[in-house]
Chains A and B, each alone.
Chain A
Amino acid sequence: MATATAVVPATAAVAGTPRLNKKKYGGFRPWVFALPALIVYAVFLIYPAFNSLFFSLTDWDGLSPTYNIVGIDNYTAMAKDPVVIQALLNNLIWTVVTIVVPVIVGLALAILLNGKVRAKTPLRLLFYTPCVLPLVSIASIWGWLYNPDFGVINVLLRDIGLGALAQPWLGQDSTALAAVMVPAIWLRVGFPMLLYLAALQGIPAEQYEAATVDGATRAQQLWFITLPSLRPAHYIVIALSLIDSFKVFDMIYAMTYGGPGTATQVMGTWMYANVFQYYQAGYGTAIAVVITVIAIAVSIPYVISQTKEHA
């Protein structure tokens, strides 16, 4: 939208013939401003990403001065690694659950908060609070709530006579993954709520008034006015949540370290374990490459739409 004529006011004279109005670029000057950030970005992000791609083709242990190039061996080994399969599956479950549940809960809260409610600002503040906490502290808090002996959840279950349901939530395969997703949901609800709330306030009241006059019920108004109007917000929420959920690492590392066994391994933690614990840097970076490729493939439509939007 920024016009290309910003620095060349003289071209305004030929505005009548835009086809002939060739873009004039700013030459070297823009790069003086652009390069510092681009250099940092290239050195610490682009170059390391490609360097990892190279390491993923080696058998490097991460410590020795030498290594051999082994081609795609690491990638074929991944296909046979049951933990990789499990990690991919866990990533998938994590992605679906930590997007769907927060979006629904956040939308419900936003609709409630947009209704006839007082003290909206403090309510919004409370619901958004978990989002600003460090993931590690959220992991600590929930690790403490889940403690089998004196954790609040089991104590509460025993107090209300459901002691039979008390269990080591994080310590057994059957519940561990669900147990680490609960805090992730807790922390992710606030963001869709805020976005939906802002979007809801942009829907003109006249639309509802007209619908009421026409005899539409509240449910019909929700279905035919509210939800369609929120389409841009859905897109944003889902695109960003998708990008985020592939990056999952902190929460699982801090709560279960991928355990018990490998029950909660995701690609991020399995990569970390391979690089820093098993000294298989080549294999670990191959895992990172795979998840990066998936993350980019899934989110490329979003990046393209952003580039178009802003260019």
Chain B
Amino acid sequence: MTASASEIAAVAVLPDAHVTTVDPLPKQRRKGGIVATVILFVVAVFWVSPLLLLVIQAVRPLSDFVAHGPLSWPSQLTWTNFRDAWGIGKFAYTYRNSALLLVLKVPIGVLLSAMLAFALAKLNMRFRRTVMFAVFLGLTIPIYITIVPVFIMLRSAGLTDNILGLVGPYLAFGIPLEVLILQSFFRQLPDSIIESARIDGASDWRIFFTLVLPLSTPALVTVGILDAVATWNEFLFALIVLSSDTNKTIPVGLLSFQGQFSNNSTGLAAGILIAVVPILLAYALLQKWIVGGLTAGAEKG
């Protein structure tokens, strides 16, 4: 969907990928390396220093920033930047819209992809290879080839300037990656379980919902997280489809906010932080799942 979506495709690419939540770093028994650790931490802090600098600007008054520049320690702390940015950036709306889109899109996307992946992996579908090729090809298609026709479709359906209009395109662009990951996971479920359920008279639906999905929880969670990140961050379609401030998602709202605050560094810093802090928190909390999903199976290479 966005750049990060296909970065995430790693799982998929790895032969016989196991989607797993196991942290790929094994327990380290070797001790030592204090010097290397310190050096790497210094580099890492430098690496994230743009974010740290943002925090410093966001908590100081503009006058303090103007007087002392961005590389000084704040002489005074304030919350007003956040209050101003929240109001002027209309974050109350953009947060609501982005959250609503996430809640609508991600579960539907994961369910549809899981169903297709189930058919491809376990149901002896005819033209399986052709369907797979067509779906995987979607990973490589730049999203902007579709924008003009999709925009026309949405306009005739009256769904422009409405986050509901984004659901269809987002689903379509999420499907290739999700199917790739999920079907490679489903294939590893033993056929014997499915066969014995079938002998007991279970229908395909029953097998799908009561056997396949529960057994695949780790893969579903990973796919759901990756899909959520891609949905939250998507920019191009949101830019084209959504026009009024109260209907925008966070990335598009942030862009117009950036324009208004170009001469107010501290307010701009606060606004950027408002937009990214939830993602950073979610990332810190869920990093095991994200990293596990990204690198699953890489060891096997």
Q: Which residues of A contact B (CB under 8 A)?
A: 1-9, 23-26, 29-34, 36-38, 40-41, 43-49, 51-52, 55, 62, 112-113, 115-121, 123-137, 140-145, 147, 150-152, 155-156, 159, 186-188, 191, 194-195, 197-199, 201-202, 229-233, 235-236, 239-241, 243-244, 246-250, 253-254, 268, 271-272, 275-276, 281, 284-285, 288-289, 291-292, 295-296, 299-300, 302-304, 306-307, 309-311
Contacts and interface: CB of A to CB of B under 8 A. Distances in A.
Contacts, number: 374
A121 B28 CA distance: 11
B247 interface: no
B233 A112 contact: no
A196 to B, nearest CB: 8
Contact of A112 (B40, B143, B144): B40
Contacts of A249: 144, 235-236
A278 to B, nearest CB: 13
The list of the 8 closest CB pairs from A to B, nearest first, reads A202-B299, A232-B301, A116-B33, A44-B172, A198-B295, A198-B298, A30-B123, A30-B125
B116 to A, nearest CB: 4
B71 A141 contact: no
Contacts of A239: 13
Contact of B70 (A6, A127, A155, A186): A155
B255 A129 contact: no
B275 interface: yes
Interface in B166-222: 168-169, 171-173, 175-176, 179-180, 183-184, 187, 191, 194-195, 198-199, 204, 208
B100 interface: no
A49 B140 CA distance: 12
Given A40-B171, A62-B148, A199-B299, A141 B51 contact: yes
Contact of A137 (B149, B172, B272): B272
Contacts of B26: 201
A151 B144 CA distance: 32
B23 A121 contact: yes
A250 B40 contact: no
Interface string B121-136: 1111110110111111
B254 A288 contact: no
A245 B74 CA distance: 39
The A interface, classified by DSSP as helix, strand, loop or mixed, is: helix
Nearest to B271: A140
17 contacts: A2-B121, A26-B124, A40-B112, A41-B176, A49-B141, A62-B148, A112-B40, A134-B232, A134-B250, A135-B3, A137-B251, A152-B71, A159-B71, A188-B7, A195-B294, A247-B142, A292-B145
A152 B265 CA distance: 11
Contact of A244 (B6, B50, B122): B6
Contacts of A2: 121-122, 187, 191
A263 B45 CA distance: 32
A302 B133 CA distance: 11
A106 to B, nearest CB: 11
A285 B295 contact: no
B233 A7 contact: no
B78 interface: no
Contacts of A6: 122-124, 191, 194-195
Contacts of B135: 38, 41
Contacts of B70: 150-152, 155
B68 to A, nearest CB: 10
Contacts of B283: 129, 132
Contacts of B280: 129, 132-133
Interface string B96-127: 00000000000000001101101111111110
A310 B25 contact: no
A132 B282 CA distance: 10
Interface in B253-280: 254-255, 258, 265, 268-269, 272, 275-276, 279-280
